[in-house]
Structure 1
Amino acid sequence: MSKAHLPDLRIDDRMIVAAALDRILYDDPDHFAAEDARTVRRLIPYGRSGWLRLGFRAETQGPSVKGEAAGVGDVRMEGDKKVVEGSVGESTAWRCGQYKITNHGGDLEIWQVMSDEYAPEPKGARLEFDAHGEPERLTFFQPRDIELRIPFTSMAVGVRLGGWQFWKQVAEGAGTAG
């Protein structure tokens, strides 16, 4: 699908989505209103994504220099840090208030704007729906980091595996939110 053919969200719709997400995420620690979830799903356009979604981040540290400085003693200067990030198979994310939302059909992926999978403390959630389109549960992103050291070098490869952990469920007999 070409990005030129994507529908747009009106500012009013973005404000409605942001308010509904605030209620879903912050109002009750154990439950959320089904109507808020339906509203968000209805307003965020579906975005096709590839069968494989893969993101990467690579960090390299430049060479360091050490020596002695007069009146200071031993000094060590670290080289510049370079970061490269990329992804494959991502679908369109919509910005609504402090959130970035992607509609995958069976779920809505929600991230705070200044956070992503690579953040030290990622702030992501997934609103999951059943086969009939009814909201079921909210999960949060819980990464597992693995570091693989390369023998006889000072290099290491870090791998972050994404996982989703249960957070809260839809409120029983949830009516309209207001």
Structure 2
Amino acid sequence: MSKTAAPGLHIDDRMVVAAALDRILYDDHDRFAAEDARMVRRMIPHSRSSWLRLGFRAETQGPSMKGEAAGVGDVRMEGDKKVMEGSVGESATWRCGQYKITNHGTDLEIWQVMSDEYAPEPKGARLEFDVQGEPERLTFFQPRDIELRIPFTSLAIGVRLGGWQPWKLVAS
């Protein structure tokens, strides 16, 4: 996610948004307050999002060595791991407390600061609104990982497909 300075989103506003998100995410297991969702949507500036968003993460392992060490026996040393990440079509993200938030118009995408789509256990949620702008539901990010091994090599290509699963509904 991109890092954008937030003109017009003051520290007090960010604290109010973070408190509302805490209530939405943690107060009740099955429901959230519609007014909290409306308020967060009003306060977070809308950002244009492209019709296609792609992200990638590539990991490479450096060469490894193995041999024998006196008094120890067989020894194997792994090479350094290099990680490259990138994305295309990302929208502006706003930091409020422990959250990163993007307002796509029809939904608010919410991530914990130390998490993203590539984390081993990603912590993301999406607050969805209907065509009238009323909050409908909250979903959570549940990835599906696919690994494609290239025969007769040590290469593998991992693909993470994002999916949003139902979590909570708006309180009546």
Same fold (TM over 0.5): yes
Post-superposition CA distance 1:84-132 (Å, at most 9, x none): 0000000000000000000000000000000000000000000000000
In structure 1, C-alpha distance between the alignment counterparts of 2:60 and 2:50, rounded to whole Å: 29
Query: What TM-score comes out, normalization by structure 2 length?
Result: 0.96
In structure 2, C-alpha distance between the alignment counterparts of 1:171 and 1:161, rounded to whole Å: 30
Checking the alignment, whether the CA contact within 8 Å between 2:4 and 2:92 is kept in structure 1 is no
- Report SS of the residue matched to 1:148: strand
Checking the alignment, whether the CA contact within 8 Å between 2:110 and 2:126 is kept in structure 1 is yes
- CA positional deviation for 1:6: 6.7
In structure 1, C-alpha distance between the alignment counterparts of 2:69 and 2:167, rounded to whole Å: 54
Q: What residue number does 2:126 align with?
A: 126
The AA in structure 2 aligned to 1:53 is R
The count of corresponding residues between Structure 1 and Structure 2 is 170
- Report SS of the residue matched to 1:95: strand
- Report SS of the residue matched to 2:92: coil
Q: What residue number does 2:89 align with?
A: 89
Q: What residue number does 2:166 align with?
A: 166
Query: What TM-score comes out, normalization by structure 1 length?
Result: 0.93
Checking the alignment, whether the CA contact within 8 Å between 2:126 and 2:139 is kept in structure 1 is yes
What are structure 2's unaligned runs of at least 5 residues?
none
Q: What residue number does 1:77 align with?
A: 77
Q: What residue number does 1:42 align with?
A: 42
Please state if 1:140 is matched with 2:140.
Answer: yes
What's the Cα RMSD here? 1.5
What are structure 1's unaligned runs of at least 5 residues?
173-178
The AA in structure 2 aligned to 1:94 is W
Q: What residue number does 1:63 align with?
A: 63
Question: Structure 1 residues 5-14 or 125-134, which shifts more?
Answer: 5-14
In structure 2, C-alpha distance between the alignment counterparts of 1:4 and 1:156, rounded to whole Å: 34
